[in-house]
Amino acid sequence: MNAHFRPPDPRHQRPEGVSDATVEALGALSKALETTERARGALYDFHQLTGSADLALDDAVRLLREAGHVERAEQVQREIIGRNVIPGHWTFQIVEEYNATYYDVFRAIEQGIRQDLAEGRDHLHEAEMKEARRTTSHPGHTAD
């Protein structure tokens, strides 16, 4: 069989009996989860950037001391370094709570729905879009 005419991988083919409406709904659910993945990434950016800034303050404190601004250096040391970003929480705790109370729950529900409605198959909407948009005789448009 010509490589340009192979059908899509069975993992990306709609199971028998799955309606267009279900594929569309699963696509919307997947898109929402992907957006949540991006939000989670931004949360990790926030976590790492805040931690990096906190560590960079060590240099600022040292330089303020060396420049003769001991009171200001002590103010930064006392008021900012190691400070909770929200009451009782450093950023790692925010990440942990987000994962435990929102992200992990969302991901598990999305996976369960996909399993129940489409034999666990992922990205059916996108796979069907790819199949509809590709040029079957073009080597850069293979299905697999």
Give the tens place of pLDDT for each residue, 54-68: 999 999 999 999 999
The residue extents of the domains of the chain are: 36-133
- Per-residue pLDDT, 5: 62
- Amino acid identity, residue 27? G
Q: What is the mean pLDDT of the chain?
A: 91
- Per-residue pLDDT, 97: 97
- Per-residue pLDDT, 122: 85
SS3 at position 89: strand
Query: Structure tokens of 111?
Result: 């996976």
Residues of the chain with pLDDT > 90, as a percent, come to 71
What 19-23 contacts at long range (C-beta under 8 Å, 24+ apart), as own/partner pairs, is 22/117, 22/118, 23/118, 23/124, 23/125, 23/128
Distance of CA 113 to the CA centre of its chain: 19
pLDDT tens-place string over residues 70-99 = 999 999 999 999 999 999 999 999 999 999
